[in-house]
């Protein structure tokens, strides 16, 4: 039995990445094993997002670190104060002032 369960129905998404040849071969082998296990041919590009999701869910260090990230205040870049600009005056307001 594979760690990755059978994929749910989904809309195909294009994935473009660069891999080392040995990793590409391992992914192709995984796709072949997936096909034998579930009787469904799935291209590597369709399996990888689910493999990554499974990997991240299983990574305790990532889960803890991500919780720490959520508890930290968001860093907002400093913006220089702009000089106060006059609001545009419409013709009706201008006539009322006169």
Residue whose C-alpha is closest to residue 3's, from 33, 28, 24: 33
Is position 89 within any domain?
no
- Tell me what pLDDT residue 3 has: 87
pLDDT tens-digit series, residues 29-88: 999 999 999 999 999 988 988 899 899 889 999 888 888 887 665 555 554 444 444 555
Domain span holding position 66: 19-72
Number of domains the chain contains: 1
Q: Is residue 5 part of a domain?
A: no
Whether 9 is in a domain gets the answer no
Residue 23: predicted pLDDT: 97
Residue 88 falls within a domain, yes or no? no
Residue 62, in any domain of the structure: yes
Q: What is the pTM of this model?
A: 0.55
Domain contains 52: yes
Does 46 reside within a domain?
yes
Distance CA 90, CA 98 (A): 13
């Amino acid at each position: 039995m594979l760690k990755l369960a059978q994929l749910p129905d989904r809309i195909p998404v294009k994935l473009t990445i660069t891999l080392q040849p040995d990793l590409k071969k391992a992914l192709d082998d995984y796709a072949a094993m997936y096909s034998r296990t579930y009787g469904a041919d799935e291209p590597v590009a369709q399996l990888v997002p689910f493999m990554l999701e499974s990997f991240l869910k299983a990574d305790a260090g990532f889960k803890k670190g991500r919780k720490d990230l959520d508890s930290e205040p968001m860093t907002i870049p400093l913006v220089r104060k702009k000089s106060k600009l006059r609001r545009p005056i419409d013709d009706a307001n201008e006539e009322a002032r006169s």
